[in-house]
Structure 1
């Protein structure tokens, strides 16, 4: 019994440790209130509990007691409180999440404040009597009225519109100071404050009057985007979107679009939305350049934002195109540093130009450089599979009006981890007759140096033959059924002679032969033909042993045939005319003396073979009066 007790004790200890370890690894969930933890009497509020990844069970606790438990998906559960009451619902809430048999710790407590008419509104003010500038320190004070009861309260600074608590204070006095040590432009907005009881139920006052706080100085910079992209063809339409942060203090702003090298903004647009759209129809190469945008407060035009980050717009033009080369090559291993050199042609009229590297499929330039020479080196550091693609470059003058070159010839960069799989096809088709000629085409990149054809399981079948721009051709002449099977191919590039790409998808070839393809049918046909020949041979042997009789007493000779398919005692006469009667063939042992001693000697050619229709044979009694006048012919049947 001692070992059993020890094992059970070990198992229980293991599960205790496992549960403790699992609880230690489950993070605490997060609990928040929507629309706010400060609500009016009789309103609805939703408590959302966000658990860890994989959570499927949730519990809501109220003042340390379990209030509700439910299953939920997406690691989130919602608990709705309908028509909240100051006494019943203004409490401390927390939640926890579970997975399997384990539960997490309880979340940080959430205080739900219900505003009632029991407490008078507080007063709000700030310490600055002058204009508030960026970086200034501002103190906002929330103070109780003289009629407020004397007890412990918690003060909360709220956003005037959202009622979301921004700061909390629990002073021993009847007021609280909320400090903003270094104001920013986004601190501009409307504020209010409340106070509520520290102890549950957490009933509170209604919000104070709103306090408008305006921070003068530059506003946060906007963002400029191009649609459909920063590289567009000449004559296309382009839309530039300027978007700003959403600030409570801003109701309407004026957006401005500028281009580097110009004195005045290109366009202005007023908007109450946090964005503006600038339309550039039918862009030309002269529109190439750096663009930026800004915005200003509609009520205080002197208050503006910083410039957005510059957006480089490229519209290729008619200047001679540059050349683009790659070092160390077009095909590189992952992690390799690649340098793309864009060189201006000698006949270009500009000496100092800007170079821009473009990648096909990308809405914006990859890189832009302003070198002092006639070329620019663009570096792709530690390339990965996503760096593979088609690259080109352009150059343009630095002085207005901007003139832009045509794009260079496209360079296709390959990273060995992303080499394309070849494809295999057959001409005239994957199924041909025996003796025909076939051509197999293995498609691959133009820079591939060697192709190989494989058959049945990857064994090499043919090396590369005729390499074209589209791949390599393999010629199979006078194919036969053994050529049937599954074929695939691969290619090799110059960089590494031992590295081959993955093989293509298999292609099944079928060569139709002339001989029958069904072995069972061949066997049955041979057996049937052999049996037919055997029957004919037996028939010939049996019929050969019948004896023809010569003519008797001057009558015309008659020939007879003994058929082995009938009883051995029946013999049928044969004549060129249809038979007029049936003659019973009997053994003529008594009349042997009257028969010629050697009938074969008299008529050596008297044996005749004929085909017999057995359906015409009938049995009939012989009448002596109707006996023929001519002598009958007899044949002796030997059963030896």
Structure 2
């Protein structure tokens, strides 16, 4: 590459005659086009009333003109910002910011001078449009079953895809006024007491951009069973009997029977117990004193200890002590987990990436593998059935196929089969 071509590539300002000469030189030498820029949406890759969505085109050269294009039914048109194309001056940041006015598939490119060819286009970013903002994610930071002391608290964490929003916690259609703390602009922690629980029906959360905008779609429900253990423990049995080993793929019925039922009925909860901790699996309502839980398509991962409790559905919402545990043993290999890539666009050297490994059961340890070799990773989040596994500052050495597996320590330690593969391609800078 000539000195002029090198200067042009790295963004030095040249006079028009030199620019034209350099363009002719590049064409004559058959040099590769300028590197493509990166395009990403900010703050999210969708539109909704009241939200301004941006597309940021990040180049590699200063003092260039950026062009944003939208492809609609095979036709490309230049998307304009305030009627003109975005232009950066020498010395400015190597980026341009466009306001998105309509959904579609977008790409961007840049050129150094009108007489020179444009860079290769960026990858496509799809902007969708929704009537309401997309739902947040609601999680509980601890086990979903609460026992005395009576004034104990439980924390529910609501995370939105946007910053600086107003959150709301609900139980059914009832808006709960409970203490909350926001440690970061996209999340809030709600603190629940037993007096806030009511009939123990599921919780959801939602958010809105401001006081005049619509509320978002509601999160998936989260159930918490809060028992004060003032009522007699229920009877708990398995059909087939827990004394016999169960075959993989079979079904078991777990019957939970309270001594009596109040007029308003009961809410029953089934728990999976592991290493002294209980995880809530199912809840069912009954107008009587008995309920039957069913576990279908059993695998070795379902081998565990189970118990149940019940809660009255009328004030003061008293709850029972847990039943005696029933242990299930299932023959056969455990099912594999699933692995999901949480990055949306291309990954470049120096980026951080996150992979989500989800197991069919809670209480397991998850491992990440790169081309079938164990990868030391940063655990970003741990939930009952999934973990976010992070890789920081990736480079070409991280390119390849990733899988995950889990280890169960109950009752005999075993490894699951490998998950589906996820390919990571790291682009150079």
TM-score, reference length from structure 1: 0.34
The structure showing larger relative contact order (alpha-carbon pairs under 8 Å, at least 6 residues apart) is 2
Greater fraction helix: 1
TM-score, reference length from structure 2: 0.49
Greater fraction strand: 2
| Greater C-alpha radius of gyration | 1
